[in-house]
Structure 1
Amino acid sequence: MTSSTITLSSPPDVARAPTYEHASRAGDFIHVAGQVARDENGNWIGGDDAGAQAVQVYRNIGRVLAHMGARPQDVVKITVYMLDRADSAAITKARLDFFGDHKPPHTGLLVAGLGGPQVKLEVEVVAYLPGA
């Protein structure tokens, strides 16, 4: 769905969400919906291992960004929702591996629950892509 100022879209290599698109472009900003550890076929990845889930989450974020014409270096804000503080180090490692030397502002939140019992974390990002 496209209007004159907002474009909503989802890449073909990220599991479809039945009630929303994975990204919106409003002006120079791209907002990526919270991503979980589903592969492109909708299978859950990582089991109870939050670090393995985080690797898939960032893989999905990379795919959504690429679909919108952006790169990880264009991300200006990261928000991570996680269930267990003990998973923080593994989730952080996946984030640092994905972004490398790029270290945008990050907020980490502990929450009581997410979209299902298998979900250990969810990550959303905002990217800035002027003039595209």
Structure 2
Amino acid sequence: MSHQVIKTKSAPEPVGPYNQAIAAKGTLVFLAGQIPLDPHTGQIVGENEITAQTQQVMKNIEAILRASGANWSNVVKTTVFLTDLGNFGEMNQVYAQYFPESTAPARACVEVSRLPKDVLVEIECIAVVE
């Protein structure tokens, strides 16, 4: 399978053996899960604050989408990982700012027991670049 690694300094460096995103066959771009790290400092943004953390995650995703030649309208699938589904409403308010309801991608949202660096939210997505 032909694929290209997508990497930008406008989003945090991976904290493990993965890439920010992979463009497969030049049309599909698979973004690794993004957590609320500031790409310049490597520090967590919004300690224990779901709104600030979700905003940073979305900024990181946007930077990677741009680096791959995509934008929010190219996203076809997201997966949201929350350490507490009680934070769903606040996360969803931030998330909704990026996706109009009429064209929003398919989404799954699950509660997990723990995320890297003990953050509250992680989001991954798939985009189609034409």
TM over 0.5: yes
Q: Which residue does the alignment assign to 2:33?
A: 34
Q: CA RMSD in A?
A: 1.3
Are the equivalent residues in 1 in contact too, given 2:23–2:30 (CA < 8 A)? yes
Shift of 1:5: 1.2
Q: How does 1:1-132 map to 2 (within 5 A)?
A: 5-18=2-15, 19-27=17-25, 28-41=27-40, 42-101=42-101, 102-117=103-118, 119-130=119-130
Segments of 5+ residues of structure 1 without an aligned counterpart are none
**After the TM superposition, which of the residue ranges 32-41 and 17-26 deviates more from structure 2?**
17-26
* Whole-Å separation in 2 of the counterparts to 1:129 and 1:95: 21
Question: Helix, strand or coil: the match of 1:98?
Answer: coil
Please give the secondary structure, in 2, of the residue aligned with 1:116.
Answer: helix
Identity over aligned pairs, percent: 25
The answer to whether the 8 Å contact 2:48/2:120 transfers is yes
Return the alpha-carbon distance in structure 1 between the equivalents of residues 80 and 117 of structure 2: 16
Question: Helix, strand or coil: the match of 2:117?
Answer: coil
In the aligned structure 2, how far is the partner of 1:104 from the partner of 1:98? 11
Aligned equivalents of 2:100, 2:37: Cα separation in 1: 23
Question: 1:21 and 1:116 mapped to 2: Cα distance?
Answer: 17
Instruction: Compute the displacement of 1:116 (Å).
Output: 2.3
| 1:21-76 Cα deviation digits (max 9, x unpaired) | 10100021000000000011212101111111000000100000000000000000
The one-letter code sitting in structure 2 at the alignment partner of 1:22 is Q
TM-score, with length taken from structure 2: 0.91
